[in-house]
C-alpha cells in the first residue's frame, strides 16, 4: 500500500476525510469530486476538523471529471451515493489497475454487486463506514461522530473461492487506513457487518429526515421509537430468511445494542438523508428501506412499515425537487 495509487471516487464528506487522512500519512491520493469543493482544496488545502483532530492537508491530486484522470489506480475507495454506483463504475472502469481493487464504502445493499458487474468479483471488496462527517463549506470537512471502526472484507456468499485472496487485500487496505488515523479492521465476511449498519440506518434515517430530528430525539419519542422497533423487526426477519450471520440472537437483542450503545454514541447526529432532501432532492432510501421491501417480497415475507417509509421519502423527494431545493 505504501506505493499504491489511491483514488477516492466520490470526495464528499466521508471520501474527503478518508482521502485526506491517507494523503497526510504519505500515500498518493487523488480526489474525484465536485468542482466547488475541489477548487477550495486547491486554493486553501483540505481542512479536516472534529473527532479525528484538526489539520489542513495540501498537495492532493484533484479531478472533477473522470475523464480528467490520467493514471490507473491500485486502490479505489468508492464513496458515492448508492444511486450513483453504476454510473461512477462505468465512468472509471478503465482507471482501475488490472491487479487493483475497488472498495465500496457506501450505505445500503447492492453496491458490491453493482461494482462487480463492471470490475469483476476478484477486484471488489465491501466495506462499512459508521462515522459521520459533514462538509461545512467547500474545502472544509468536520467529523461529527465515530461509532465503530471502518470494516473492509469480502462477502463469501458472493466471492466464494476468492475469499482467501481478498481477505489478504482487505487486511492490507485496512492496515493502511488505520495507520492513517481512522480506526479500521478487516473481516472475513462483510455482509453481517453491512447488515448490522443497515438495521441502524433503516430505523433512523427516514424518520430523522421526515421529522428533522436527531437520533437521540427519535429514540426519546415513544411513538417514533415504536415505529423504529417495527422497522428493525421487519429487516431482521429478512436477514434471518437470507441466512445472514448477524451477531444477534434476535431483533430484541439488536434493539438492546441499538438503544443502549449505538444511539447514545450518535445522539446529536442528524441523518445525511435529511441533508440530501434539503440539498439534492434525492436520497439513498431505495438502497436502505427499499431493499428491505424488495428482499422481503422475494423471500415470501412482507415489510409494510418499511414500505410506508419508502413511500413517504419518495413523496418528500418530489416535494423537495418541485420546490427548487435540489442542487
CA dist., res. 277 & res. 271, Å (int): 10
The 96-104 sheet, strands edge to edge: 61-63, 28-32, 5-9, 73-78, 96-104, 124-128, 150-153, 184-186
Contact 96, 123 (CB under 8 A): yes
Contact status, residue 184 vs residue 174, Cβ threshold 8 Å? yes
Picking from 80, 172, 78, 169, the residue whose alpha carbon sits closest to that of residue 122 is 169
Q: Which of 219, 224, 159 is nearest to 187 (CA)?
A: 159
Q: Is 197 a catalytic residue?
A: yes
CA torsion, points 302, 308, 314, 317, in degrees to nearest 10?
Answer: -150
All cell numbers assigned to 117? 458487474
Task: Report the half-sphere exposure of 222 (CA within 13 A, side-chain side).
Answer: 0
- The set of catalytic residues is 197
Amino acid at each position: 500500500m505504501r506505493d499504491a495509487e489511491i483514488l477516492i471516487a466520490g470526495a464528499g464528506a466521508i471520501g474527503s476525510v478518508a482521502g485526506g487522512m491517507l494523503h497526510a500519512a504519505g500515500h498518493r491520493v487523488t480526489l474525484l469530486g465536485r468542482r466547488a469543493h475541489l477548487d477550495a482544496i486547491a486554493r486553501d488545502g483540505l481542512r479536516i476538523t472534529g473527532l479525528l483532530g484538526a489539520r489542513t492537508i495540501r498537495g492532493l491530486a484533484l479531478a472533477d471529471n473522470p475523464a480528467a484522470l490520467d493514471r490507473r489506480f491500485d486502490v479505489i475507495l468508492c464513496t458515492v451515493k448508492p444511486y450513483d454506483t453504476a454510473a461512477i463504475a462505468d465512468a472509471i472502469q478503465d482507471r482501475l489497475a488490472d491487479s487493483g481493487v475497488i472498495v465500496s464504502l457506501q450505505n445500503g445493499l447492492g453496491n458490491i454487486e453493482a461494482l462487480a458487474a463492471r470490475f469483476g468479483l476478484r477486484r471488489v471488496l465491501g466495506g462499512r463506514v459508521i462515522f459521520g462527517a459533514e462538509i461545512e463549506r467547500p474545502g472544509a470537512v468536520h467529523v461529527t461522530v465515530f461509532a465503530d471502526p471502518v470494516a473492509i472484507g469480502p462477502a463469501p456468499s458472493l466471492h466464494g473461492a476468492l475469499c482467501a485472496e481478498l481477505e489478504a487485500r482487505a487486511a492490507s487496505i485496512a492496515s493502511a487506513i488505520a495507520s492513517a488515523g481512522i480506526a479500521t479492521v478487516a473481516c472475513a465476511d462483510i455482509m453481517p457487518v453491512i447488515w448490522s449498519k443497515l438495521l441502524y440506518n433503516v430505523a433512523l434515517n427516514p424518520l430523522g429526515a421526515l421529522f428533522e430530528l436527531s437520533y437521540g430525539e427519535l429514540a426519546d419519542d415513544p411513538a417514533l421509537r415504536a415505529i423504529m422497533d417495527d422497522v428493525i423487526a421487519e429487516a431482521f426477519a429478512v436477514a434471518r430468511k437470507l441466512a445472514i450471520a448477524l451477531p444477534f440472537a434476535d431483533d430484541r437483542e439488536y434493539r438492546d445494542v441499538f438503544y443502549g450503545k449505538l444511539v447514545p454514541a450518535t445522539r446529536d447526529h442528524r441523518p445525511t438523508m435529511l441533508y440530501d432532501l434539503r440539498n439534492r432532492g434525492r436520497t439513498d432510501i431505495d438502497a436502505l428501506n427499499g431493499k428491505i421491501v424488495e428482499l422481503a417480497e422475494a423471500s415470501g415475507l412482507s415489510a409494510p412499515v418499511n414500505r410506508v417509509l419508502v413511500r413517504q421519502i419518495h413523496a418528500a423527494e418530489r416535494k423537495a425537487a418541485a420546490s427548487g431545493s435540489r442542487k
